Structure 1
Amino acid sequence: MTDYSDANPAVREPDFNGVGEQDAARVCDASLAAEDLPPADELTFEEKLAALNRTVMRHPLNREILYKTLAFCETERPLREAEDFIAALPQFNLATQNQYYLLTSLAKAHGLELIERDETGEPVTAAQKEGLTEDEVDDLVAAISFKTTEVGAYFVEYNKPSARLVDLLGLDPGRADTYRELLEYVAAEARPYRDIEAFLDGRPTLQTVIDGRPETMQPSVFVDKLERAGALVWKDGWTLTEEGREFLEELKVDGQA
């Protein structure tokens, strides 16, 4: 699988203060969710990676959000900060699940570690919870946070947008120029799909053969593949992501655009 993009947030220490009533309710839910996690110690690295890959790739509208969340949480992030980060992503406008669900799904898939902390900010251990009632555990756990696991970090590095874009152009070299020209076209300003359709209309690269019959590809195929590679995002029109813009600049430096 090659598909994802890397966020570059400013690194800062997590703030575990100010947990409100809504946070406290989610802390309780997350504590229960942690108990449902598959036994990671019984799985190989490759099995965990496969589980994470399935989770990220399961729904197209969530893919880039999940990737960026893994990248963001390489520094430990309190629940509220992680949820705010996800909510601010342009891709979240089309997400099929809320922030909390997306975070816990990554934890269940071994991409994030769900960390419970007491009111002083110290991690709560399994030994501390042993013998406690559910209410007592709830009182002990004051906040939760998320941190990318070794598996999640590998996934982030392997699926950087630059790698995905190189793969895309390499796998379809006959259409590489069209992909580059489309990146340049949307770099100038956000473009509605109808403008992209007109921009690509009549190009020979839209022609293909399926089951021995000549067919005309829809321009949406190019948009979809560039979006999956982390280069395009919808923000009142199709426009370049930060990673897409960096990739285009690299092509220009190399004399390929």
Structure 2
Amino acid sequence: MPRADSAAVHTSASSSPKQTDTVSLESMMELERRLEKARALLIQNPLCRPVLYRILETARDERIRLGDLETMIADMPEYDGITQPPYILMQWLVDVSTLDLFELDDAGTILTEESKQGLSADEIDDKIVDFSFKTSELGVILLKELEPAGRLEDLLTVVPERYDTYMEVLEFLKEPRSFAQIDELLRGRDILMFGKAADDRPLQPSVFVDKLAATGIVVYNNGWQITVEGKEFLEQNHR
């Protein structure tokens, strides 16, 4: 009997790590599937990417009520030119599990599944008077992937020869600028012909702005200008 017990203990102990590894692998795969769904939202809506990032960042540390968050979104520089109403953008993020939605009663208390026990659908609807939102754990992970400073660092290393030009453009965009002003700043520069044959057309100056905008480090708001992250990046790089 002792030997049988020992064998049982040994079998249990030896199988436990495998079970744990399987659960861990499945959890990682599920997390990656959910992240891919969230990334797909951003890929399919590139013009909305900066404001979607800003929504997640704004709601990262505390729950924000529906009306307050809608107002915040409408006031974001990144929202300029976006045709979708704020609530639609919020719903997109909820649908991909990066923004948690909470139902609130008239006292502002979250309605939990437990508090709904025994109530009819109509009674539950009557109790819901508002909503609040907070960035989910998945949303926080996505935020780290979308961090403008990190994406800018990646951009600056793709073609190191363009580093100084990108930095000069960022410095120039401390104040709102038009495409025409940016074009005037860079027109005729040798860097626009870098990597091209002598008879090729030069790179358009607007390409620098487009690539910076894709990182979320610059945004259009009555002119192209750097974001808060852009200012921080320049300060950290002593520009």
TM-score band, normalised by shorter chain? 0.7 to 0.9
Measure the CA separation in 2 of the matches of 1:139 and 1:171.
56
Give 2:130's aligned residue: 143
Correspondence 1:91 to 2:73? no
Correspondence 1:114 to 2:117? no
- Confirm or deny: 8 A CA contact 2:98 2:138 kept in the other structure: yes
Q: Specify which structure has the bigger relative contact order, considering alpha-carbon pairs within 8 angstroms and separated by 6 or more residues.
A: 1
- Confirm or deny: 8 A CA contact 1:207 1:217 kept in the other structure: yes
Identify the match of residue 142 of structure 2 among 129, 141, 155: 155
Give 1:234's aligned residue: 220
Measure the CA separation in 2 of the matches of 1:99 and 1:174.
40
Give 2:21's aligned residue: none
- Confirm or deny: 8 A CA contact 2:196 2:202 kept in the other structure: no
Root mean square deviation of aligned Cα: 2.3
Correspondence 1:166 to 2:168? no
Structure 1 residues 38-80: Cα deviation after superposition (integer angstroms, max 9, x where no partner): xxx9x81111111111112322221111001011111111111
Measure the CA separation in 1 of the matches of 2:152 and 2:94.
27
Q: Which has the larger radius of gyration?
A: 2
Structure 1 residues 187-241: Cα deviation after superposition (integer angstroms, max 9, x where no partner): 2x32111010011111122125689x83422111100111121221222221121
> What displacement does 1:171 show?
1.5
Structure with the bigger percentage of helix: 2
Measure the CA separation in 1 of the matches of 2:213 and 2:206.
10
Give 1:100's aligned residue: 87
- Confirm or deny: 8 A CA contact 1:61 1:91 kept in the other structure: no
Measure the CA separation in 2 of the matches of 1:165 and 1:52.
21
Give 1:182's aligned residue: 169
Give 1:207's aligned residue: 193
- Confirm or deny: 8 A CA contact 1:110 1:152 kept in the other structure: yes
Structure 1 residues 151-178: Cα deviation after superposition (integer angstroms, max 9, x where no partner): 1001112321111111110122111111
Unaligned runs of 5+ in 1: 1-40
> What displacement does 1:132 show?
4.6
Measure the CA separation in 2 of the matches of 1:122 and 1:216.
60
Equivalences, count: 211
- Confirm or deny: 8 A CA contact 1:232 1:239 kept in the other structure: yes
Measure the CA separation in 1 of the matches of 2:215 and 2:70.
24
% same residue: 37
- Any idea what SS the aligned residue of 1:216 has? coil
Correspondence 1:65 to 2:51? yes
Q: Which one-letter code corresponds to 2:150 in the other structure?
A: A
Give 1:56's aligned residue: 42
With the length of structure 2 as denominator, give the TM-score of the two structures. Answer: 0.81
